[in-house]
């Protein structure tokens, strides 16, 4: 996803690019729900930089909708079920903060969820949240790039990269820079592989819930996210030990068990998918150029909040690349030592 947004951004700046994408099936973007959520986690905290991220992401995706002639951005509130009085009090305490309150909608009505899910003792609702159709962005963007003949779908060979006279050479291509947006595959990168990736495997379900008509995102024991044609994204799991991207029967059973505890209406499992998230231990992106070889750049590590983080930090990188503007210090790869 990050690489796709970077390619579009550079094309919009009139730059000549060549994309290498070998259709990695385990890409987390290809199975992501694309949730943009301003207030997250059990601790109910405002997401990092969210005041800047939301308007930037909205404009980026809406501009992309025009280019791709597809709707990919959906403004959807998040309804969060609160399971105890303690949870409810914690929610009220945290969302009472004025910096958080602007994202909170006062509501005690489950709306379209009423009678279709198990209820808690209360609920909270968030505004300015959204859902981005990331798989559709990837699909339509690939067609766009193929039409422009700027994408190569074979496996990239690191050993074939050469540097000479401040230029990058690869096969028959010559470039001023080479930028890596590889997700979890960045661990294998010979120049950036030492960065502290802490990847986590995630598994999700796609289910059909006929006539549910859920128009908001539900945060219950799982996330239930509306897609199209009565299809919903259900997820997700975390596995910090298993590093393959294959779906497992164990996690499928766990997801179904939790979904059975949520829904009180029939559903059908349509698909079960898995991928590896490109997470960094400090939960901040990786943006910048290699300290030893500045022909090498990276934009990676968006993790579980890629839908909101990627547009903003792609723009930060483009400004670094073209205008030599500094990037946010918390995302700059200079916070890690790549010289050893």
* Sheet of strand 104-105: strand arrangement: 104-105, 122-126, 78-82, 217-219, 223-226, 231-235, 200-208, 268-277
* Per-residue CA distances from 147 to 3, 24, 306 (Å): 17, 20, 26
pLDDT reported for residue 41: 84
**CATH number where 16 lies:** 3.50.50.60
* Whether pTM exceeds 0.85: yes
Backbone Cα Rg of the chain: 21
Distance CA 103, CA 37 (A): 10
- Distance, in Å, from the CA atom of 306 to the CA atom of 308, rounded to the nearest integer, reads 5
Give the residue numbers spanning the domain of 19.
Answer: 2-28+135-197+282-332
Measuring CA to CA, which residue among 171, 164, 117, 187 is closest to residue 293? 164
Among candidate residues 107, 303, 129, the one with its CA nearest the CA of residue 225: 129
| 3-state secondary structure (DSSP) of residue 119 | coil
* Position 36 in a domain: no
The DSSP code for 10 is H
In a domain, 116, yes or no: no
Q: Which two tokens stand for residue 96?
A: 């009472």
Is 321 inside any structural domain? Answer: yes
Query: By C-alpha distance, which of 74, 67, 32, 49 is closest to 274?
Result: 32
Domain membership flag for residue 297: yes
Inside any domain, residue 49? no
- The answer to whether residue 305 sits within a structural domain is yes
Residue 23 resides in a domain: yes
Q: Does some domain include residue 145? A: yes
Phi, psi of 71, deg, nearest 5: -80, 125
Q: How many domains does the chain have?
A: 1
Residue 244 has what pLDDT?
85
What residues in the chain have per-residue pLDDT under 70? 23-26
């Amino acid at each position: 996803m990050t690489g796709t947004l970077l390619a579009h951004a550079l094309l919009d700046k009139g730059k000549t690019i060549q994309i290498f994408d070998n259709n990695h099936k385990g890409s987390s973007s290809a199975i992501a729900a694309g949730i943009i959520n301003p207030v997250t986690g059990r601790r109910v905290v405002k997401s990092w930089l969210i005041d800047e991220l939301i308007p930037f992401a909205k404009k980026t995706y809406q501009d992309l909708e025009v280019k791709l002639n597809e709707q990919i951005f959906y403004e959807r509130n998040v309804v969060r079920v609160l399971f105890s009085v303690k949870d409810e009090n914690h929610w009220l305490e945290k969302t009472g903060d004025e910096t958080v309150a602007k994202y909170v909608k006062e509501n005690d009505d489950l709306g379209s969820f009423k009678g279709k899910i198990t209820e808690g003792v209360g609920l909270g609702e968030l505004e300015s949240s959204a859902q981005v159709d990331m798989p559709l962005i990837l699909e339509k963007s690939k067609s766009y790039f193929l039409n422009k003949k700027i994408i190569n779908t074979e496996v990239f060979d690191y050993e074939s990269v050469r540097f000479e006279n401040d230029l990058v050479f690869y096969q028959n291509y010559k470039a001023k820079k080479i930028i890596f947006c590889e997700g979890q595959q960045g661990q294998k990168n010979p120049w950036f592989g030492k960065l502290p990736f802490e990847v986590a495997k995630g598994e999700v379900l796609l289910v059909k819930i006929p006539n549910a008509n859920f128009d908001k995102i539900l945060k219950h024991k799982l996330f239930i996210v509306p897609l199209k044609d009565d299809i919903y994204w259900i997820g997700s799991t975390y596995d910090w030990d298993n590093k393959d991207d294959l779906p497992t029967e164990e996690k499928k059973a766990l997801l179904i068990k939790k979904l059975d505890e949520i829904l009180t209406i029939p559903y059908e499992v349509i698909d079960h998918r898995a991928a590896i998230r490109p997470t960094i231990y400090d939960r901040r992106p990786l943006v910048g150029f290699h300290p030893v070889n500045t022909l090498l750049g990276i934009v990676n590590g968006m993790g579980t909040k890629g839908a909101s983080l990627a547009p903003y930090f792609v723009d930060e990188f483009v400004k670094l690349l073209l205008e030599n503007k500094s990037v946010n210090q918390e995302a700059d790869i200079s916070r890690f030592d790549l010289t050893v």
